[in-house]
Amino acid sequence: MADTVTVREVRTHLADVIDRAEAGQTTVVTRNGKRVAALVPIEVLDALDAAADEMAAREAEAHRHDPTVGMAELLADLFEGGDPAA
């Protein structure tokens, strides 16, 4: 479970919050009672980045064989409403 601290507490005890993140703990920061940020261990951020990269790669692979449109055809459709080869 994550610790919760206010922005004011983070300002006062930033080194402690960073030490907790380094030790593997997540700290949620609140402003006016609303959750606005989280300080997480760097391993968590690295894992999120890797997961996002993997999802993007899977999405790209899923659409690899989708039909494509050349730039000339796209521009012709946008500006002339016709086929550039015609």
Give me the CATH number covering residue 40.
3.40.1620.10
Is 0.75 topped by the overall pTM? no
Residue 84 domain-assigned? no
Residue 12 domain-assigned? yes
pLDDT by residue (tens digit) across 13-65? 999 999 999 999 999 999 999 999 999 999 999 999 999 999 999 998 888 88
Query: CA–CA separation, 38 vs 5, rounded Å?
Result: 10
Question: Residue 10 is inside which H or E element, if any?
Answer: helix 7-12
pLDDT by residue (tens digit) across 68-81? 888 888 888 889 86
Report the candidate in 30, 24, 23, 39 with the shortest Cα–Cα distance to residue 5: 30
pLDDT at 85: 56
Which positions ≥6 away from 5 have C-beta within 8 Å?
13, 17, 27, 28, 29, 30
Residue 22 domain-assigned? yes
Report the candidate in 47, 52, 2, 57 with the shortest Cα–Cα distance to residue 24: 2
